[in-house]
Structure 1
Amino acid sequence: MVLADLGRRINSALAQINKEPVIDEKVLEALLKEIVYALMESDVNVRLVGSLRENVRKAVNIQELPAGINKRKLIQKTVFDELCKLVDPGVEPYKPKKGKTNIIMFVGLQGSGKTTTCTKLAYHYQRKGWKTCLVCADTFRAGAFDQLKQNATKAKIPYYGSYTETDPVQIAHEGVEKFKKESFEIIIVDTSGRHKQEAELFEEMKQISAVVNPDNTIFVMDATIGQAAELQAKAFHEAADIGSIIITKMDGHARGGGAISAVAATRSPIVFIGTGEHIHDLERFSARPFVSKMLGMGDISGLMETVQDLKLDQNKNLMKNLEQGIFTIRDMYEQFQNISKMGPLSKMMQMMPGMSELNFEGSDELGAQRIKRLMTIMDSMSNAELDSDGKIFIHQPVRIVRVARGSGTTVREVEELLMQHKGFQNMVKKFGGNKNLFKGMGQNMDPSKMSPQQIQQKMAAMNKMLPRGMPGMNNIMRSMMGGGLPGMGAQGMPDMAQMQNMMKQMGLNLPGMGGGRRG
C-alpha cells in the first residue's frame, strides 16, 4: 500500500534523529527535507506541505529552546501533530441516533465505488447491532440495481428497488417510506453517479434529497483523482448539503494522500476510507489514529472497537467451561467463528503497534480458506460430537469416516482437526482447570491487576488458538512478546489504559476469542 510506504519513509526519517549525537538546525532541515519529498510524492498539495514545514520550524526553534528540553521527542511530537492537522478538517460528522430512523443519502461521481460503499456502510452498522437497509435510486446506470441486490443479499441486508419504475425520485420515496414503517434505524439511499458539470443530474439529486429529507448526505469520492478532489468536493457542497465524505480506493494508490489532504482543506468531515473490494474493507477515519497507523504505530482504538463489536462477554457458558478446564469441539467452532467475524487478518494486525512492518501477503486468503475448511468439517458433526471432548471419535473411529464424507474432506484432515482440538483442550485443562488462569475472567475481571506474565500467557494462548497453516502469526507473536516492536517512535507507545481495556475485552474468552453460542 502506497500510504504505508509513505509512513515508512516518514518514520524512518524520524528514527534517524535518534542516531544523531547532536540535534541542531542542520539535522532538523534534513528531516524536514525527507518528509517534504515523501509527502510531495504522495501527491499532497505543495501549499499544504509548505505550511507543515513552516509550522514545524516555528514550533521547534532549536536556538531558542531552553536547556533540558528533549529535542528529539519535541521534533517527533510536532511532526506527528502537523501530519494530523494535514488530514483533519476539524469538523464533527453526523452521528446516527439509536432507536430512531436515520436516512443517509449517497452521492458521488460515476465509478467512485458508491454502490459497493453503500453495502459496506450498511454492513458496518449491522455488525454493531443497528437495523439497516438499502434503497437503490440509481436508474441511470444499467445493472445498478442488480449490483446492489447481489451485494445486499450476500450481506443479508434488506433492500428496495425496481426494474420497471424509471423515476429515481419515486423509487427513493417509496423505499424510504416502506422501511420507515418497518422501523429500520439506518436507511441508506444509493443514487446515480454524476459529475459537477452535469446540471440535469445535479437537479435530480436535489429532488431526491427534497423527497427523502436525509439526515446525512455522504459524498463518495475516488482517491485516484488526488488533488482534484478539492474542486469536486466544493462543487457537491454547493449543490447539496453534504454532511460527510467517504474516500474509496485507498489501497495502493499514490494519490490517496492528496485526496485526503485536499478534502480536509475544504473542512469536510471524512468519516470512512475504502481500502479494498471486500465488505470488510471500510475503515473509520479519524486523523490521529490514521496517522498513527500509517506510521506503523498501530490503531489501538480501532482494534478495541473491532473486539468490542464481537460482544465477547455474552457467552457465560463458555466462560464457565474454561474455568473448569473444559473445552468442547463446539467451543472450538465458536472461536473460529469469531476470528472470521473480525475481518481480514492483515487489517486487524496492522492496528497493533509495529505490525505494519510485517509481511501479511497471502495471509488473508489462506487463513480464511483454512478456517472455512475446518468449520466445514465441524458442520458435518452431530450435536453429540460437537458437545463432546473428542473421545467419542477414538471409541468409534467410524464417525471420522462419516464426517470426512459428509464434509467432502479426507480422513486425515478430520484427524488433524481432532488433534488440534486435543491440543487446545490440554491447554485449557492446564491453564484453566489446574492453574485457574481463566477464573474470574468474566465481566468483573480487572485487567489492570494482571501481571505482564499473565498478559503474555493470554496472547500466547490466542496464537495457539489460530489454525495451523495461517501464515504470519509466528512472526507477529514473536514481535509482540519480544517487546521490540518496529516502527515505534515518540508517539508509538499505546495508552496503557486503552491497552488494558482491550485486553479485558480480548481476554474474556481466551484461549482464542469466544463469542455467542452457535445456533
Structure 2
Amino acid sequence: MFDNLQKRLDSVFKKLKGYGRLTEENIQEGLREVRLALLEADVNYKVVKDFIAKVKERALGQEVMESLTPGQQVVKIVHQELIELLGGKTSSLSLAGKSPAVIMLVGLQGSGKTTTSAKLARFLKKKGRRPYLVPADVQRPAAIKQLQVLSKQVGVECYPSDPKEPPVEIARKAVLKAPLMNLDTVIIDTAGRLHIDEALMGELKAMKEKVAPQEILLVADAMTGQDAVNMAKAFDDALGITGVILTKLEGDARGGAALSILAVTGKPIKFVGIGEKLDELEAFHPDRVANRILGMGDVLSFIEKAQETIDREKALKLQEKIKKDAFTLEDFRDQLRQIRRLGSLEQILSMIPGFNKLKKMKGLVPDEKELIHIEAIINSMTPEERADYKIINASRRRRIAKGSGTTVQDVNKLLKNYAEMHKMIKKFKKGKFRGFPQGLFG
C-alpha cells in the first residue's frame, strides 16, 4: 500500500544523505519534498502540517546540525515522528472485566465487516479465547448465512439469528446465551448502510446501550482514503468508537487513511486486513508500519507469520534431514508449499529489509507461477527420482516436462538450482558459506 510514498521518501532521503553538511536551506527543501509526498499519499493536510512542523523543529536543532551523519539523523527523526503519528505503540483489545466480553463491529456497507468478524474470531481463538459470532445484520440479504458459513471455516460457534427479529434483540439474546455455552467473547456483526444516516446510528446506539460492549471497532476501507478518516470521526462522535480496523491494505491505496486516523479522531488503529483470506488480519504495530514506509522491512511480522504458519514438527524433521544431507526434492516441494501458505511472494519479501530497493534497482519481481511450475515438475517425478535427482537422465526429463506441462529447459533449471542448493547446504554445514546461489527466480 505504501509503495509510492516509500519511493518518494527514499528519493528525498538519498538526496539529504548526499550532503556532507546540512544547512537550513537544504533541510527546508527536503521537508518540502516530504510534505508533497505525504499530501500525494492522501494524508490529511492538517496532519501533514503538524508532522512537518515537528520534524523541522528537531531537524534544525543540535541533534542534526552538529551530527557527523546529518542525513541519517533526519531519517531517524522522520522515522520516530512517523511512529508517533501512527500511534506510538500497539493498541490491544480491552477485554478484561465482565464475561462475556462484547465487541461490536460497525461501519458502512461494503467495508468488509462480515469477513472481518470471522477473521477477528479466528485471531482471538488463536490467542486462547472462545469467540461467539453474532450475525446482527438483517438488512443485507444472505449476511446471516455468510457469517454462519465463515464461522464453520474458522471453527467457532455462531448464534442462529432470526432475520425477522430486531438486531438489538438478537445481540441481547446472544450475549445472554454465550456464558451458557462456555464462550467468553461475543463479536457482533452489525448492519451497515451506503452512507451514515439517523436510522443506522439510532440502531447502533440502542445496541450499545443494551449490550454495553467493551470494544466498538469501526471497520473502514483503506481504499477510500480521506473518506475513511471522515467516516471514523462521524462514527466516533455518534458512538464513541474504541478503535479502527482498516481493511484492504493489500490494495493500491495511498496510505493516507492509516497515517491520518489517529491524529484526526484520537482513536487507534487496532487491526489491519492484508488480504481476503481468513488468516489475513494482523495487529497494527506503528513501529513496523513506519519501518515499511521507510523501506526498512518488517522482520518481526515475518517471523510471527512464519511461526503461525509453518509446521514446527515438519521444520524439526527437515532440520535433521539437512544435518544428515538427506534433503530430497520431495522435501523441497514440501518447503515450497509451506512458503506459499505464508502469502504472496512479493508480500513476504517486502518484509525483508532492502528488498524494495533491490526490486526497484534490478526489476526483481517474484513470479508466483514459477512456484506452481516447480511443484508440478516435482509431482511429475517418480518417488525414486525425487529421492535421487542424479538418476534423471534426458529421457526422464522429457517425460517429466510432458507430464507437468512445462519444458525440458524448465526441468533442467529446477534440477540445476536444486543441485546448487545442495552444494550451499554442504558449505553451510562445513562453515564455508559465502552467499546464496543465483536462486530460483534468476
**Above 0.5 in TM-score?**
yes
The Cα shift of 1:257 comes to 1.0
Equivalent residues in 2 for 1:81-92, closer than 5 Å: 81-88=80-87, 92=91
Q: Is this contact kept in 1: 2:130–2:184, CA < 8 A?
A: yes
Q: Which digits, 9 at most, give the CA deviation of each residue in 1:100-148, with x for residues without a partner?
A: 9654321112222222322333444566776656332211112323443
Aligned to 2:313: 314
Q: Which digits, 9 at most, give the CA deviation of each residue in 1:255-281, with x for residues without a partner?
A: x31453134332211022334545455
Aligned to 2:252: 252
Aligned residues: 432
Aligned to 2:403: 411
Percentage identity across paired residues of the two chains: 28
Aligned to 2:298: 299
2:19 counterpart letter in structure 1: E
Equivalent residues in 2 for 1:68-217, closer than 5 Å: 69-88=68-87, 92-94=91-93, 103-125=102-124, 134-149=133-148, 151-152=150-151, 159-162=158-161, 164-173=163-172, 183=182, 187-194=186-193, 197-209=196-208, 213-217=212-216
Aligned to 1:485: none
Alpha-carbon distance between aligned partners in 2 of 1:212 and 1:325, rounded to the nearest angstrom: 60
Aligned to 1:506: none
Alpha-carbon distance between aligned partners in 2 of 1:171 and 1:371, rounded to the nearest angstrom: 50
Deviates more, 1:311-320 or 1:216-225: 311-320
The Cα shift of 1:334 comes to 2.7
TM-score, length of structure 1 as denominator length: 0.68
Alignment of 1:345 onto 2:345: yes
| 5+ residue gaps, structure 2 | none
Aligned to 1:331: 331
2:113 counterpart letter in structure 1: K
Q: Is this contact kept in 2: 1:134–1:157, CA < 8 A?
A: yes
Equivalent residues in 2 for 1:339-488, closer than 5 Å: 339-357=339-357, 358=359, 363=366, 365-366=368-369, 369-370=372-373, 373=376, 377=379, 385=383, 389=387, 410-412=402-404, 437=429, 454=433, 460=436, 473-474=441-442
Q: Is this contact kept in 2: 1:103–1:187, CA < 8 A?
A: yes
Alpha-carbon distance between aligned partners in 2 of 1:183 and 1:393, rounded to the nearest angstrom: 58
Alpha-carbon distance between aligned partners in 2 of 1:141 and 1:178, rounded to the nearest angstrom: 24
Distance 1:20 1:147, change over 3 A: same
Alpha-carbon distance between aligned partners in 1 of 2:427 and 2:158, rounded to the nearest angstrom: 51
The Cα shift of 1:4 comes to 1.5
The Cα shift of 1:322 comes to 2.3
2:298 counterpart letter in structure 1: D
Distance 1:423 1:228, change over 3 A: closer
Distance 1:413 1:204, change over 3 A: same
Alpha-carbon distance between aligned partners in 2 of 1:421 and 1:185, rounded to the nearest angstrom: 50
2:191 counterpart letter in structure 1: S
Alpha-carbon distance between aligned partners in 2 of 1:386 and 1:165, rounded to the nearest angstrom: 62
Distance 1:183 1:415, change over 3 A: farther
SS of equivalent to 2:49: helix
Distance 1:264 1:344, change over 3 A: farther
The Cα shift of 1:305 comes to 1.3
1:267 counterpart letter in structure 2: G
Alpha-carbon distance between aligned partners in 1 of 2:389 and 2:52, rounded to the nearest angstrom: 67
SS of equivalent to 1:437: helix
| 5+ residue gaps, structure 1 | 439-450, 475-519
Q: Which digits, 9 at most, give the CA deviation of each residue in 1:410-444, with x for residues without a partner?
A: 52559989988876875686566x66829xxxxxx
1:411 counterpart letter in structure 2: G
Distance 1:319 1:230, change over 3 A: closer
Alpha-carbon distance between aligned partners in 2 of 1:314 and 1:340, rounded to the nearest angstrom: 18
The Cα shift of 1:28 comes to 0.7
2:203 counterpart letter in structure 1: E
Q: Is this contact kept in 2: 1:136–1:160, CA < 8 A?
A: yes
Q: Is this contact kept in 2: 1:249–1:276, CA < 8 A?
A: yes
The Cα shift of 1:342 comes to 0.8
Alpha-carbon distance between aligned partners in 1 of 2:127 and 2:414, rounded to the nearest angstrom: 30
TM-score, length of structure 2 as denominator length: 0.78
Q: What's the Cα RMSD here?
A: 4.4
The Cα shift of 1:25 comes to 1.0
Aligned to 1:34: 33
Q: Is this contact kept in 2: 1:264–1:270, CA < 8 A?
A: no
Aligned to 2:8: 9
Alpha-carbon distance between aligned partners in 2 of 1:336 and 1:61, rounded to the nearest angstrom: 50
Aligned to 1:60: 59
Q: Is this contact kept in 2: 1:280–1:343, CA < 8 A?
A: no
Q: Which digits, 9 at most, give the CA deviation of each residue in 1:70-90, with x for residues without a partner?
A: 322222222222233223266
1:74 counterpart letter in structure 2: Q
Distance 1:368 1:174, change over 3 A: farther
Q: Is this contact kept in 1: 2:134–2:188, CA < 8 A?
A: yes
Equivalent residues in 2 for 1:215-254, closer than 5 Å: 215-250=214-249, 251-254=251-254
Alpha-carbon distance between aligned partners in 1 of 2:91 and 2:142, rounded to the nearest angstrom: 35
Q: Which digits, 9 at most, give the CA deviation of each residue in 1:447-492, with x for residues without a partner?
A: xxxx8x64x65xx38x85xxx5xxxx44xxxxxxxxxxxxxxxxxx
Q: Is this contact kept in 2: 1:390–1:422, CA < 8 A?
A: no
SS of equivalent to 1:221: strand
The Cα shift of 1:240 comes to 3.4
SS of equivalent to 2:225: helix
* Higher RCO structure (Cα 8 Å, ≥6 apart): 1
Distance 1:138 1:121, change over 3 A: same
Alpha-carbon distance between aligned partners in 2 of 1:96 and 1:415, rounded to the nearest angstrom: 56
